Amino acid sequence: MKFLKSLYYLYLLFLDDLPRHRSLFFVGLGNCLPDTFVCSRFRIYTFMMAGGHVKSPNTCVIRKGFFTEYAHNIYLGEFVQINRNCLISGHAKTTIGNRVLLSYDVKLLSIGHKGKLNDQDVVGEITIDSYCVIYAGTIVSYNTHIHEDVIVGAGSMVIDDLPANGFYAGNPAKIISKKFKDEP
């Protein structure tokens, strides 16, 4: 009976949450490498071994200090750059489009709380469309969509959808100026 109980506890510890443990292991393995260009390219492959989805691995860069718990819910487009100490929680589907830059210490949190004591966690998708730049220290909350060609200023808190072609900053992030596409 003790043996079966021990097996059950091992199951709960490792197999019950296998995608999370796989993510923690391989992303942690990638973070053990030095922060050089070659190793930042190799981190893409450790991210993919953790279960992450990358459209074009040869065009993406992940710098040292990247952290995620559930890589299998994260989808990266082409030419994505994730800088040092970024966190993507990955509790829900998180999609990052083509040519997106996440600066230092950006946090994409697809899980949160409604604010009441002992409430259940709230999980929601995060989508970042193509040609976006998110500057240092920005926090993006669950159930948000950052549309195409958006710049988010440093230290901002994104809690709502951000329409296309704008510069946003603040807590919560509000439009600072509208960007206009170059005319031919």
Q: What's this model's pTM, rounded to 2 decimal places? A: 0.85
Rounded distance, CA 157 to CA 107, Å?
A: 10
- The whole-number pLDDT of residue 10 equals 55
Is residue 118 within 8 A of residue 137, CB to CB? The reply is no
What dihedral angle (degrees, nearest 10) is formed by the CA atoms of 44, 87, 98, 121? 120
Question: pLDDT of the chain along its 184 residues, tens only?
Answer: 566 666 565 555 555 567 787 788 788 888 888 888 777 778 888 888 888 999 998 899 999 899 998 999 999 999 999 999 999 998 999 999 999 999 999 999 998 877 766 677 889 999 999 999 999 999 999 999 999 999 999 999 999 999 999 999 999 999 999 876 654 4
Q: What is the DSSP letter of 162?
A: B
- The whole-number pLDDT of residue 27 equals 83
Q: Strand pairing of 122-123 and 111-112? A: antiparallel
Q: Which uninterrupted H or E stretch holds 10?
A: helix 2-10
- The whole-number pLDDT of residue 183 equals 46
Architecture (CATH level 2) of domain 70-176: 3 Solenoid (2.160)
- The whole-number pLDDT of residue 93 equals 94
Which two tokens mark 49?
Answer: 């071994």
Residue 33 CA: distances (Å) to CA of 16, 41, 65, 89, 181? 29, 11, 10, 21, 40
Q: Is 184 exposed, middle or buried (0-12, 13-18, 19+ CB in 10 A)?
A: exposed
- The whole-number pLDDT of residue 21 equals 74
Which two tokens mark 172?
Answer: 């919560």
